[in-house]
Amino acid sequence: MTMLQPDEAETETEAPTAELKMTARDVDVFYGTNHAIKSISVDIPDKTVTAFIGPSGCGKTTFLRCLNRMNDTIRNCRVTGEIRLDGEDIYGRDIDPVQLRARVGMVFQKPNPFPKSIYDNVAYGPRIHGLAGTRAELDEIVERALTRAALWQEVRDRLDAPGTGLSGGQQQRLCIARAIATAPEVLLMDEPCSALDLIATAQIEELIDELRESYSVVIVTHSMQQAARVSQKTAFFHLGVLVEYGETSRMFTNPSDQRTQDYITGRFG
Amino acid sequence: MSVQDTDIPAARPVDWRDPRILARIRRRHARDGWLKAAGLVALLIAFALLAILVGSLVYRGHSAFTQTMVTLQVHVDPKKVKPERLRRGKYDDMVEAALLSHFPEVRSRADRRKLTKILSKGARLALRDRVTADPALIGQTVTISVPVSDPFDQLNKGLIGRSTPEERRIVDDRAIAWFDRLAEKGLISRPFNTALFLEADSRFPELAGLAGAIRGSAYALLVCFLISFPVGIAAAIYLEEFAPRNRFVDIVEVNINNLAAVPSVVFGLLALAVFLGWFGLPRSAPLVGGMTLALMTLPTIIIATRAAVKAVPPSIREAALGIGASETQVVFSHVLPLAMPGILTGTIIGLAQALGETAPLLLIGMNAFITEPPGGVLDPATALPTQIYIWADSPERGFVSRTAAAICVLLLFLVTMNALAVILRRRFERRW
């Protein structure tokens, strides 16, 4: 119900500095006895791209998956602390993770289209959430999502073709279309370009920049250049701890922490 | 990376032309050759054994697919059959009279009785059915082919040697002479044995057929499928997708795997005690047979389904969950369709196993002597493997070839089912 665009537009005009979309306070994550994430607090602003960077195994993805409760599906994973979406505790009792995941969409590291037609891939989310009343409405949602994901021109003639038959970059854009078809408020992207070539990466990055106008985007990336190119805010993770968080431009030119500086200049990681 | 690092020792040079190295390579290649040869030999042995099995079955069984018939002109005597009591006419008298008319010289009562032994007991039934279907035939003469009795069938097929001394033969020289006379007149024929597929069991080999067994097996398999398929899939999905990881579930899993290895006769005893003993279900019924077979098929289906569900890539589950699909939606719109080829293959292999299973059916009485094909799942019936068991146990010569023929039919069904498994799998894989 908080998907209504006018509300957001209103708050936007009231507060020209980016409104906070999600806030995390003292989040800890345990896999069994392994303490993977240690007391992380982050503010994720609306209509902004926030990048999570850091060496492998530092907990970026784990933390990202807390934001739409995907970690619920992992056995013996325990999350403590508080994460709020529009001020609402997403681990609260009256939040249904199924609905939350429609509001906080996710794009995965490896393109994972369903082995169904391109149309059905995009229509799946709207269908299960009952977002379209008629077939025409659904057609429109699909077309709009594919257009926004910059894929419509390439697939408009073969919507019935299997989504798995597309190229890697097209598949990833299809996954983005699928994620934005449910009109999410936040889009989580877990290294969306790691399996793609330079051209496909450039296309996705351009797309992320456009998506920023309507969504809050959180992207996990290994590539510092990518973080510098697409994001406005950057968070640097190291060994399960949030080392530094701030404006991207400042992080890359004038990091305040020695570890951030070492990582950015390529001394470890 | 660091070129200046002098700590790293230089690579030791290797002479790849060293005879020892060359010899070693040759040995490795020789080993490859031996492995391939061993595999090929094993395959050839398996094929040879299969060829011997099928060959001997076909050799022994092929004669049962034809049946020796004698064609007679039978006068339907109005004195011996009344239109209002069609089924109770003296048809044997009429058929025998028609046969005796070819041998006017045979007069004595004993000889005439011996002569009529050429005819099968089923001959009168053939006439009865003909007249019952068309009462207008009463008073007319009909031409009808009736089966000959088993010894003469065997004689005609050459399975009773004419060179065997008379005292060791079931048919004596006079009977052979009579039979040959009929053959000379062109009255003896050997058409395809339709009775083998249209009739149920009989005491007389020339009349015995597999219709009852085939229908009994079909009913039992249907019941087995209806029970084991949904229950098996439900159990496997629960264990794979929803079950918590605790000791209880571990015990359940171990025991399902154990159940797959339990001898089938034990399931038969269980069914005897529970289905017949406690529930009081009827003996020899395909319903009980199917339930018993379902007990055996369940572990197979559960194990196959779990393997197929496990093989569905986790990325598909994540994708669906990531859009906000509920667990049920993930299972029904993604996991199950993707796992279906594997599930179907496992199910059909399980059913094929059930089709050939004998021991549990013996224990619940599906080896009874039943001369009518079952009309429903509660009627007494036999199944194909138990019918084979019964026939293999019968002393008459005619049952030897019929047993082999029945085995051929059973194998044909098994091959068909396995081919179906392959076709279904291909079809589903193409769709996904």
Question: pLDDT digit string (tens) for B115-142?
Answer: 888 999 888 888 888 888 888 888 888 8
Which A-chain residues 81-110 have CB contacts (< 8 A) with chain B? Answer: 98-102, 105-106, 108, 110
**Average confidence (pLDDT) over B282-291:** 93
Among partner residues A73, A102, A114, which is closest to B319 by beta-carbon distance?
Answer: A114
What is the helix, strand, coil percentage profile of chain A, to 5? Answer: 40, 25, 35
Give the residue numbers spanning the domain of A64. Answer: 20-264
Closest by CA to A230, choosing from A246, A243, A245, A217, is: A217
CB pairs under 8 A between A and B: 59
- Pick among B315, B318, B323, B429 to test the A interface (most A CBs inside 10 A): B323
pLDDT at residue A13, as a whole number: 38
| A112 domain residue, yes or no | yes
Q: Tell me which chain A residues have a C-beta less than 8 angstroms from the C-beta of B325.
A: 98, 124, 128
Q: Does the pLDDT value for residue B429 go beyond 80?
A: no
Q: Does the pLDDT value for residue A264 go beyond 90?
A: no
The gap between the terminal CA atoms of chain B, to the nearest Å, is 46
Q: Tell me which chain A residues have a C-beta less than 8 angstroms from the C-beta of B338.
A: 115
- CATH number at A190 reads 3.40.50.300
Q: Does the pLDDT value for residue A252 go beyond 60?
A: yes
Closest by CA to B259, choosing from B218, B222, B228, B214, is: B228
Domains identified in chain A, total number: 1
Can you list the domains of chain B with their CATH numbers? 65-193 (no CATH), 211-428 (1.10.3720.10)
| CB contact (8 A) between residue B329 and residue A128 | yes
pLDDT at residue B430, as a whole number: 55
Q: Does the pLDDT value for residue B54 go beyond 50?
A: yes
Reported pTM: 0.82
Length of chain A: 269
| A217 domain residue, yes or no | yes
Question: If residue B319 lies in a helix (H) or strand (E), which one and from where to where?
Answer: helix B314-323
| CB contact (8 A) between residue B319 and residue A68 | no
pLDDT at residue B1, as a whole number: 45
| CB contact (8 A) between residue B321 and residue A105 | no
| A82 domain residue, yes or no | yes
| A219 domain residue, yes or no | yes
Q: How far apart are CA A181 and CA A184, in angstroms?
A: 8
Among partner residues A98, A112, A178, which is closest to B326 by beta-carbon distance?
Answer: A98
| A4 domain residue, yes or no | no
Helices (H), chain A: 5-14, 60-66, 97-103, 118-129, 135-148, 152-155, 168-180, 198-211, 224-230, 248-253, 258-264
Question: Across chain B, what does the average pLDDT equal?
Answer: 90
Q: Does the pLDDT value for residue A84 go beyond 60?
A: yes
Q: Does the pLDDT value for residue A168 go beyond 70?
A: yes
pLDDT at residue B384, as a whole number: 94
Tokens of B265: 């006769």
For A19-43, how does the pLDDT look when each residue is reduced to its tens digit (9 = 90+)?
A: 888 999 999 999 888 898 889 999 9
| A14 domain residue, yes or no | no
The gap between the terminal CA atoms of chain A, to the nearest Å, is 42
| CB contact (8 A) between residue B338 and residue A105 | no
| A32 domain residue, yes or no | yes
